[in-house]
Amino acid sequence: MRGVAVLGSTGSIGRSTLAVLRRQREHFRVVALTAGSNASLLESQRLEWNPDFAGLVGPGDASAPGGGPGVLIEAATHPAVDIVVNAVVGAAGLDATLAALRAGKRVALANKESLVMAGELVLEAAREGGGELVPVDSEHSAVLQCLAGHGGQLERLILTASGGPFREWPAERVQEATVEEALRHPTWSMGSKISVDSATLANKALEVIEAHFLYGLPYDRIEVVVHPQSIVHAFVEFGDGSVLAQLGFPTMELPILYALTHPVRLPDSGVPRFDPIAAGSLTFEPVRADLFRTFDLGVAAGRAGGTAPAVFNAANEAAVAAFLDRRIPFGRIADTIHAVLNAHTTQPATALAAVREADRWARARALEEMS
């Protein structure tokens, strides 16, 4: 019986994680749950799972009794926890990732932002604390599954992207897309921030950076293709030219289950079985640079290294929040990130203080750009 903490249990990935755990009660026990703000859903989850710890981070009040950001650390380092599912959205997830790895836990990482912001520090925390980082992101889970049992040299990764709701739109129309249009993802149902990231393809840039740190590959060996059906999650090419892919209907429950059980597999009757006839034609196309400026900005930030990915991430979070609040049009998301990255002088990201300062600076600068 392994103990699991679910950070962000009220969100899309958090709820999918609990759906997986409901079918695996003989293997896992829910030890800790945390939520950002949805107190009533957290309470009903607490009644269902009877965890040792349930905490609400609350609306930015660190001094609230039983609440505040410390809740995430407490859950992530709880002694009865073996696996921390980090399903918090955004930079708020970083400290818990670091703390869990330092405490020697397995981190099933949905919160890709923590790896993007502070990839070197996250890997160092895992090395020092003996923790283990396992991706929940479907593309990175696909890579891990393709690599399992293969001794050969990893040559190249190709991550797939659905292309989001605007894949076939004229570029001018996308600039004025509404919040409702941006949230209408063709193949995945997700939280609002990652849905907007999928419409701009910022999500895929975050994933390229995530893959760089997880699999230790240089950026020129990580590629992205648009695959509107979201059936192939990633391709892995080995030194001999052989290519493996992992396929399945789009559901996060499979990569979540695999992150809990890797390197073994458990049967899970809840995952829809694959049917190639129902999947139909699988198509692949290049990323449209005219539509997805944010993607290129993010990959360039990854290549620049140091604090640049943290700045990209923070500017993106600030711009997406402003778009969701209807303070800026869709097209201003890329403009804002571009301006903030242009104004930034990249520093080494080998100390947490430098990462935090870059994050703080980028958010403030993004707000100035958008005012």
The footprint of Mg ion (CB under 5 A) covers 137-139
Q: Which amino acid is at 145?
A: Q
Q: Which of 8, 51, 131, 165 binds ligand NAD (CB under 6 A)?
A: 8
DSSP element (H, E) containing 6: strand 2-7
Query: Which one of 4-12, 18-26, 170-178, 324-332 is the stretch in contact with ligand NAD (CB under 6 A)?
Result: 4-12
Enter the tokens of residue 45: 């989850």
Task: DSSP letter for 32, please.
Answer: E
Pattern of binders to ligand NAD over 95-124, x per CB under 6 A? ---------------xxxx-----------
Pattern of binders to ligand NAD over 274-313, x per CB under 6 A? ----------------------------------------
Query: Which one of 7-15, 77-85, 257-265, 322-330 is the stretch in contact with ligand NAD (CB under 6 A)?
Result: 7-15
Nearest 5 degrees, angle CA 254-CA 316-CA 59? Answer: 80
Closest contact distance (angstroms) between CB of 141 and ligand NAD is 9
Query: Which is nearer to Mg ion, 210 or 369 (by Cβ)?
Result: 210
CA dist list (Å): 326 to 101, 313, 333, 362, 366 = 37, 20, 12, 20, 15
Say whether residue 191 binds ligand NAD (CB under 6 A).
yes
CA 97 to chain centroid: 12
298 contact, one of Mg ion, ligand NAD, none, CB 5-8 Å limit per kind: none
Which residues 51-90 are close enough to bind ligand NAD by CB under 6 A?
57, 72, 87-89
CA distance 112 to 124: 16
Answer yes or no: are the C-beta atoms of 97 and 110 closer than 8 Å.
no
CA distance 155 to 237: 5
Bond from prior residue into 186 cis (ω within 30 degrees of 0): no
Query: Which is nearer to ligand NAD, 59 or 241 (by Cβ)?
Result: 59
Query: Which one of 9-17, 212-220, 267-275, 291-299 is the stretch in contact with ligand NAD (CB under 6 A)?
Result: 9-17
Task: DSSP letter for 274, please.
Answer: P
Enter the tokens of residue 314: 């923070």
135 contact, one of ligand NAD, Mg ion, none, CB 5-8 Å limit per kind: none
DSSP 280-340: -----B---TTT-HHHHHHHHHHHH-TTHHHHHHHHHHHHHHHHHTTSS-THHHHHHHHHH
Say whether residue 14 binds ligand NAD (CB under 6 A).
yes
Query: Which is nearer to Mg ion, 9 or 138 (by Cβ)?
Result: 138
Pattern of binders to ligand NAD over 148-187, x per CB under 6 A? ----------------------------------------
Closest contact distance (angstroms) between CB of 161 and ligand NAD is 12
Say whether residue 190 binds ligand NAD (CB under 6 A).
yes
Query: Which is nearer to ligand NAD, 92 or 370 (by Cβ)?
Result: 92
Closest contact distance (angstroms) between CB of 255 and ligand NAD is 8
Answer yes or no: are the C-beta atoms of 101 and 127 closer than 8 Å.
no
Quickly count: other Cβ atoms within 10 Å of residue 368's Cβ.
12
Nearest residue to Mg ion by CB is 137
Give, rounded to a whole angstrom, the gap between the first and last alpha carbons of the chain.
Answer: 52
Query: Which is nearer to ligand NAD, 8 or 165 (by Cβ)?
Result: 8
State whether the Cα torsion 283-288-294-300 is positive or negative.
positive
Residues at the contact surface with ligand NAD, assessed by CB under 6 A: 8, 10-14, 35-38, 57, 72, 87-89, 92, 110-113, 137, 188, 190-191, 193-194, 252
